Structure 1
Amino acid sequence: MYAIDDQIIDRARVGDDYLQPLLAAVHRSPQRRPRCLCSAAETGGVDMYVARIGGRYVLKRMPGTGPHHSPACSSYIPPAELTGLAPLLGTAIREQPATGTTRLAFGFPLTRNLAPQPREASAARPDAGTEVADDTRMTLRALLHFLWEEAEFVRWLPAMSGRRNWPAIRRHILLAAQSKTTKSRELSELLWMPEPFTAAAKADIAARRTAAFASLVGAGKKRRLMLALGEVKDIAPARFGRHKLLIKHAPDCPFILEPETRDRMHHAYSTELALRQAIPNSKLIALLTFGVTPAGVTIADRIALMNVSAEWIPFESVFEHTLITELVGHGRRFRKSLRYNQPATSPLASLVLTDTDPPTVCYLTMATTAGPPPPIDPNLPLKQWIWNTSVGPRPGIPPSMIRYASTTRPDRTTGPHCNAEEAPEPAATKEAS
């Protein structure tokens, strides 16, 4: 339920023919604040704003208001301080509700100098996870985490089971990239994701990809770069001492890895690569910057990797994957927390159970974690659960205490982000090798 001016809107009873013009009118008047009526604790409702995404008007939560929503609300997010997001807000990530846009500052380049560099300088170039030493810029991994969270693939409800697939992932990530800007360009102009592959449309898909990459081809001392996001199919040896990164749904578009690029990737993401090998039904997601040579060859520059479960939920360890798998199997509701720029030693929340009363912040710590988790702010309606994976068995998972009146599909028009629930995945078309 939402309130716009003095009018109560029940999305289950109001169609787009009525709602879209109403939201468009609010969008033209930024001083008008729709309110979400999900939380009894917020007697006046929680302020929202209207953004235009993908040609549609959607209600989005105001910055910093996520914890004020009911845990059952699609607009609820735990306090940013529990994750790696908090240090970036207001610096590397600047939300602008007045315009409905978000300004991003990157700590990695989108051009590459083609002039030969000394071997020492080339070897010292940092990897995607460590480009910056402060929180005024986003690393490549932080951008990957940001897109995943903006697309709501960190949120899990039982109704989402069996409904996530590559077409849904692609659609919602691309929608999440809209209304995001960098210093000089729209993020949606920089980001490429492979279309779902079908053999019948192979030539058309390749033609559209060539057109998307056309702006990168040109002569000069610098190579322009784009961003590619996809599921890693393989990292295989190529000829002449190089390797190639193969992305699913793009079998005819290998990304060439120079030896130093491959070495940096294996050094920075050895854990992610090992987890993908150890857990067969998991997936490995890559976000990379890449350029195109005048001959049309795609060359990877920097790479960030992230493990996700069969349900496309990110995880960092075998222990975390086991916990997520059990929660999914028992029909639990939760939100996964992400690290962004923070190192693996920081004691950040793993996930937040949203079906306990109050929500439960779950921490997984180990011998290498830098100290215990910080105490929870007593003013926040949260409780804490800690599993030290280095000592003793896992403690019992707090049981669900909340019964939801309905498991109806959350609405994509009024939700804060596009929702991840989609139709079941059709039978896959075999990719050409």
Structure 2
Amino acid sequence: MITVRIGGSEFPLDDVLDDPGRYARQLERAKTTQGFAECGCTTARPRPKLVIRRHRKIFLLARWPEQAHHHGGSCPFHRQAQANGGTADSLDAFRMRDGRHDMRLDVTLVASTHTPTKTVQRTPTGQSSKPQRRSAGLLSFLEYAWEQAGLNVWPGSGSRGWSACWSQLTSELADGRINGKPATDLLHVMERWEPARKADILAAFDAWQARLTSTASCNPRGILIGELESHGASQYGGKLALRQNSQRYFMSADIYARLQASFGGALAAIDKPDQRCIIVMLIEKSRSGYLTVVDIAAMLANRQFLPCDSSHEVAMADYLVAHGRAFRKPLRHIGRAPVHPDFVLTDVNPEVVIEVLGLSGNPEYDARMAAKRQHYRQHGIPCIEWDALETPIDGLDLSKGGQTQ
């Protein structure tokens, strides 16, 4: 179990992340007297520092600038040391500038009321030879946010609910910029409904909605992240609801059809106790005041909100959690890595990759797996494979990949 030192006391880190309001007094005192908290994810001294960031009436923990790589590999605040900037990095859709996230999304954040505006923005065709910065879609943004918030990492013990997702996403992206605009003005991560904090939660959501009020010349848009509870057809297309409040969100028939076609695997998680469906939406207000979805993406996760690409991966994530293993789920938002393992065990040295085989027999899939195996062999990377179609997961031997640290 990873702990965090707040002032002179130790607390379970997952408890503080999942219920920051419970520790508001201790965090406020430490912020005032010491100025930071200390993570207990490693035996190294001094401990890695954590920023204590005020958010409305509570306090959240965030990564200390330039110290993320000092955290243990199974810590949600851990990141590999990033290379210095360069031409390639400066053109990335996701980059760091002055310690803050600078994100460029392939969406229109302000739609003109005078001329038709596409949901997705395109780079104008021109004669300039100057390289253009890349942009990313909503799914890539959601994966990037999840990874940067450490929500693709499991420490090997503890628990994680939606409040931890909210607190880690909120603290991680608070100082970021999206298409040159402050993320705090555009992005709202839904907070878990708590009757005791009803007024604060509703006030925050209403303030975000107020920014979407149309003017004579434009319709401002915002980005919303939450957990999907239900979806269905409506009179003019589709509608959906999130678990965090009773608000309804509406979309055209085309967008609803695209959601079902592109993210059917994630949508299938609804009503399954071992699965979650995370939604990111680009939203504007209709003239009648309804919240209208103009772009949307969905991501499948297990009950601890670890992202997964299939129900077979959900089974693997649950198996690793049940066996007390520490691991991370690599995400594909950039795609620069030569291969993308399904999971990586971080509690062994060297780390061990896990591949979940779910489409064996498909020629294209088998060719990709052959390339992965060759890469692992050439680089001496231990690998465990599980054929989900042929082998019960209870028979999987996790010990053959390496020795637990």
Same fold (TM over 0.5): yes
Residue type matched to 2:101 in 1?
Answer: T
Q: CA deviation at 1:61?
A: 6.5
Q: CA deviation at 1:73?
A: 5.5
Give the aligned partner of residue 158 of structure 2.
160
Residues 126-180 of structure 1: per-residue CA shift (max 9 Å, x gap): 79xxxxxx9822221111112222222212134323xx22333222221121121
The reply to whether residue 243 of structure 1 matches residue 238 of structure 2 is yes
The answer to which of 299-308 and 260-269 deviates more is 260-269
Give the aligned partner of residue 275 of structure 2.
282
Give the aligned partner of residue 295 of structure 1.
288
* Alpha-carbon distance between aligned partners in 2 of 1:383 and 1:233, rounded to the nearest angstrom: 39
Residues 222-252 of structure 1: per-residue CA shift (max 9 Å, x gap): 311001111111112333x33211111221x
TM-score by length of 2: 0.71
Give the aligned partner of residue 426 of structure 1.
none
Give the aligned partner of residue 371 of structure 1.
368
Which structure has more helix as a fraction of its residues?
2
- Secondary structure in structure 1 of the residue aligned to 2:348: coil
Give the aligned partner of residue 110 of structure 2.
111
Contact preservation (8 Å) 2:41, 2:75 = no
Give the aligned partner of residue 425 of structure 1.
none
- Equivalences for 1:15-414 in 2 at 5 Å? 38=42, 53-54=53-54, 60=64, 62=66, 66=69, 71=73, 76-77=78-79, 91-96=92-97, 99-114=98-113, 136-161=134-159, 164-197=160-193, 205-206=201-202, 208-239=204-235, 241-251=236-246, 253-276=247-270, 279-340=272-333, 348-365=340-357, 366=359, 367=362, 368-369=364-365, 371-372=368-369, 373=372, 375-376=375-376, 382-389=381-388, 396-399=396-399, 401-403=403-405
Residues 195-245 of structure 1: per-residue CA shift (max 9 Å, x gap): 433568767754543332112112334311001111111112333x33211
Q: 1:14 to 1:216 in 2, by over 3 A?
A: same
Q: CA deviation at 1:397?
A: 3.8
Q: 1:155 to 1:37 in 2, by over 3 A?
A: closer
* Alpha-carbon distance between aligned partners in 2 of 1:105 and 1:244, rounded to the nearest angstrom: 28
* Alpha-carbon distance between aligned partners in 1 of 2:224 and 2:307, rounded to the nearest angstrom: 18
Residue type matched to 1:309 in 2?
Answer: N
Q: 1:187 to 1:295 in 2, by over 3 A?
A: same
- Residue segments in structure 1 that go unaligned for 5+ positions in a row: 1-9, 25-33, 82-86, 128-133, 404-433
* Alpha-carbon distance between aligned partners in 1 of 2:75 and 2:202, rounded to the nearest angstrom: 41
Residue type matched to 1:248 in 2?
Answer: R
Q: 1:104 to 1:208 in 2, by over 3 A?
A: closer
* Alpha-carbon distance between aligned partners in 2 of 1:303 and 1:238, rounded to the nearest angstrom: 17
The answer to which of 12-21 and 318-327 deviates more is 12-21
Q: 1:69 to 1:198 in 2, by over 3 A?
A: closer
Q: 1:215 to 1:77 in 2, by over 3 A?
A: closer
* Alpha-carbon distance between aligned partners in 2 of 1:300 and 1:376, rounded to the nearest angstrom: 42
The answer to which of 321-330 and 102-111 deviates more is 102-111
- Secondary structure in structure 2 of the residue aligned to 1:220: coil
* Alpha-carbon distance between aligned partners in 2 of 1:89 and 1:384, rounded to the nearest angstrom: 34
How many matched pairs?
Answer: 353
Residue type matched to 1:396 in 2?
Answer: L
Residues 246-266 of structure 1: per-residue CA shift (max 9 Å, x gap): 111221x21111112112212
Residue type matched to 1:104 in 2?
Answer: M
Q: 1:70 to 1:217 in 2, by over 3 A?
A: closer
Contact preservation (8 Å) 1:88, 1:138 = no
Q: 1:329 to 1:80 in 2, by over 3 A?
A: farther
- Residue segments in structure 2 that go unaligned for 5+ positions in a row: 10-26, 122-131
| Higher RCO (Cα < 8 Å, 6 or more apart) | 1
Q: 1:78 to 1:100 in 2, by over 3 A?
A: closer
- Secondary structure in structure 2 of the residue aligned to 1:402: coil
TM-score by length of 1: 0.67
* Alpha-carbon distance between aligned partners in 2 of 1:49 and 1:137, rounded to the nearest angstrom: 32
Contact preservation (8 Å) 1:105, 1:136 = yes
What's the RMSD between the two structures over aligned residues? 4.3
* Alpha-carbon distance between aligned partners in 2 of 1:319 and 1:181, rounded to the nearest angstrom: 35
Residue type matched to 2:251 in 1?
Answer: L
* Alpha-carbon distance between aligned partners in 2 of 1:184 and 1:214, rounded to the nearest angstrom: 20
- Secondary structure in structure 2 of the residue aligned to 1:262: helix
Percent identity, aligned pairs only?
19
Contact preservation (8 Å) 2:146, 2:169 = yes
* Alpha-carbon distance between aligned partners in 2 of 1:379 and 1:62, rounded to the nearest angstrom: 29
Contact preservation (8 Å) 1:232, 1:284 = yes
Residues 341-398 of structure 1: per-residue CA shift (max 9 Å, x gap): 559xx95211111122211122234335362326149778x52233455677778343
